[in-house]
Structure 1
Amino acid sequence: MKIGVIADDFTGASDIALTLAEAGMATVQYNGVPKAAGASSSEVAVVALKSRTAPVVDAVAQSVAACDWLLAQGAEQIVFKVCSTFDSTADGNIGPVLDALSTRLNADGVIICPAFPENGRSVYQGHLFVGDRLLNESGMQDHPLTPMRDADLRRVLAEQTPRPVAHVPLPVVAAGPEAIRNALPVTGYAIVDAVSDCDLRSIGRAACGASLVCGGSGIALGLPENFGATALTPPWQPITGPGVVLSGSCSRATRRQVELYLETAPAREISAEDILEGRTSVEQLCDWVLSQGVPPMVYSSADPSTVAEVQDRLGRERTAQVLEGTFAQLAARLRQEGVRRIVVAGGETSGAVVQGLAATELEIGPRLAPGVPVVRLVGAEPVALALKSGNFGAPRFFEAALARMEGRDV
């Protein structure tokens, strides 16, 4: 194995797995730390964790365990994959996990770059932009679990780690890999600017030989070349059968996707209060989904003000647990009843669904959208999954994903 990836959520894992697979590296995604050896033929192993919003001590323990497993498989380089919007809180988990991995790997001057220009994420002067907006003006300031209210990644990370946080500006990046390497600090971390894929490829080449790298999926654009990989399109065998959309993201992009899907398909909105008070159950939702003639949608993608009101009444953690638990149980029931195409919106929701499906290993297929592949859950009856980060995908993503799973275009 050449590259080992530790992803702090499931959509991020499939995102970077797609980047590496398209670059020509044999890639396998594992959900959770495997208990046995991985596939001997793989060049890349991506370990997907549900650690982004976990308690710090749990996130650190899971990440170090994943690192140890990857090293045991022969990984030459570890990538800590975080969201392209650097989702975290003042307590972590990016800083504490980076500290633990840096100690484990004896790494210093670690490159950190969450930029993903294809999806509108860029880093300039150490600040993260979403399109033409600073991160804290992009809607991420209203995220129900990890509100991002500062675009300066140096300040964000400095609140989470005692290690120094430096900055490599865009003119240095433009000067090429050697200039980037020379600008890296001797200790701690370096937020590295990037506004284009060309910048990311230079950063990737600068990371040749580094034991640890951190970033979004874009950070992986330049890494495969260090290992002699050649680009290709991952194969896909169409999967037919009933489909469903499960949406738990409250992002602006997902709310628009939900709004448009409501025009063409039946949908049921769920809330934590309805579930807790017995007005909605997994059994009812399963029966309703199975009774529809076209792939329906079950969603909890309310606007941020509505979500905040519910969290005030029930508590943020309890609200998330109730909704994620419902999506996990529903996905498991639907698979048992023959549903074979599942589109999921939201990182935490995707993690819950994958855990509910007991999916330990996923085959990476071709891209559905930048950062979103179609993946195959291997089993007696294969299941096609699309695990979409809340902010990703075109407005009609749900329809397009369900069609591509069957080998059709819309």
Structure 2
Amino acid sequence: MDFGFTDADDGFRAEARGWLLEHGEAGQDRRVWERTLGKSGWIGLGWPESGYGNRSATLTQQVAWAEEYARSSAPPRSGHIGENLLAPTLIAHGTDEQKSRFLPAIAAGDELWCQGYSEPGAGSDLAGVRTVAVREGDGYRISGQKIWTSLAHEADWCFVLARTEAGSRRHHGLSFLLVPMDQPGRIEVRPIRQLTGTSEFNEVFFDGALARGEHLVGGEGGGWSVAMSLLGFERGVSTLAQQVGFARELGRVVEAAVASGAVLDPVVRDRLVRQWAELRTMRWNALRTLGRAGDAGAPSVAKLLWGGWHQRLGELAMSVRGAAAAVGPVDWSPSAAYELDVLQHLFLFSRADTIYGGSDQVQRTIIAERVLGLPREPKGVV
């Protein structure tokens, strides 16, 4: 792939930067912000089809938008899961009716989505899903539990991987269902409090929740192939935007090292330079793989690279500050809220980087088996 940007790309980048400067004020209501993006056609740039209210953009223009968004003061996105995961999956596997029903609403920012994959005991091992969906009339009744469900407390819909064939095992007998979240008494969302004190993730309990038959994607029993296809969309252009955020965090760590005097230590300087060099390498690797369709190992390599890098950055953020990194709130009264600073938050949140989104062990297994063709790991081996 040519790493350079054309004059047209530069013009697109300037338009994106100007629009974000005019509209992207921090602190806006996130749902209102999604509709603002949708009204100007900024949702769905990466879809292989346009005509749903989204703009058409080349791959390099998508990179430009993602990077400018990450550099702006615009609010965090709530529509990422619908825009970048579900929509490409529906375009690849959905019926014309499903695409007509859901894609315009996603492009307009009117409907937000969450992902019902992981379960207690079936996180990295997704084939161990135990949530069941039983046929009832023209639809399905879903019962079970999902966990680590990002933005479930905000979502209007959830795409759920459930077992529709009684007695089936592993990746057989699974189906991919689109489920409305507004089902009081049938769906319960419980936020999970994290080390950082925030609650981006949730537990979701389904107690006979209804999914309509026309909202089955890929046919009954075809859920595994649809789910794997969706995961292939998970790490694309957004990886480059993520790296812009990483660069900002690295800058804060460098500033902290200068302020504390730790930068005078040659070992610390070496670690800082290594973090910078590895971040540049990740960018070139991401650009190189974006234009290569069907590279089974690329998403796993990317996850291994950034997960370990970000975790090491969190550790370095604490190291350069010394004992001050462990200092808590000034007000030690029982009623005082514990407020983490940005580097403490970075350290605590990054402890999970090598686990969520597919653990390092799972990524290495994917590379070994699907790319290198090594023998499959025997099941049940500890």
Q: Smaller-chain TM-score range?
A: under 0.3
Q: Higher strand proportion, which one?
A: 1
Q: Higher helix proportion, which one?
A: 2
User: TM-score under structure 2 normalisation?
Assistant: 0.24
Say which one has the larger Rg: 2
**Larger RCO (CA under 8 A, 6+ residues apart):** 1
User: TM-score under structure 1 normalisation?
Assistant: 0.23
